[in-house]
Amino acid sequence: MRTVACTRDRHAESILAIFNDAIVHSTALYDYSARPLSSMDAWFAAKAAGGFPVIGIESESGELLGFASYGVFRAWPAYKYTVEHAVYVHKDHRGSGLGMRLMGELIAAAKAQNRHVLVGCIDASNQGSIALHERLGFAHAGTIKQAGFKFGRWLDVALYQLILDTPSEPVDG
């Protein structure tokens, strides 16, 4: 397996397949309908515009096994050091340590970009993701009750955060 920087041309279809599986079969994404391939244009454009990494792990044969990224947490300037991240592993490869590896790479990227806080917004029933975040040192920062409605029920979201020691000299503006 190898870590790669995901690109629109090489990875959009694989990322979309992972997203759509999560949309249709889980509460990992609070979306109702599978997304079209065209949605990946705006997704990759937003990542590029913000300088946000999209990190993947490929098998030796080039199959994308999982990916992680982050983006804008909130759209006001004073949040510039805080990002909201996501990590997704293909359904056939979950539980094999890929989430931990992807998150390690993502945390390293956040430090290199002088980010200060990583925020994960996790469905409160997703014990696997919560355990992963806790193993990485993320702290529970709160739960928003009944924040979403999917599969005929109210869903709670748990917020987890990791505070990094970067940047060394933060600035206003």
- Mean pLDDT of the 21-31 span: 95
Q: What is the pLDDT of residues 50-80, one digit of tens each?
A: 999 999 999 999 999 999 999 999 999 999 9
- Does residue 140 have a pLDDT over 90? yes
Establish if 10 belongs to a structural domain. Answer: yes
- Angstrom CA distances, 95 to 85, 101, 166, stand at 19, 12, 30
Which of 98, 122, 113 minimizes the C-alpha distance to 2?
98
Establish if 7 belongs to a structural domain. Answer: yes
Establish if 168 belongs to a structural domain. Answer: no
| CATH number reported for the structural domain that contains residue 130 in this entry | 3.40.630.30
Establish if 33 belongs to a structural domain. Answer: yes
Q: Structural domain of residue 118, as residue ranges?
A: 2-163
Question: In which residue are the tokens 């290199």 written?
Answer: 112
Q: 88 φ, ψ to 5°?
A: -135, 135
Q: What is the pLDDT of residues 7-23, one digit of tens each?
A: 999 999 999 999 999 99
| The pLDDT value given to residue 169 | 94
Q: Which two tokens stand for residue 45?
A: 């454009």
Residue 97: CB atoms within 10 Å: 13
Establish if 172 belongs to a structural domain. Answer: no
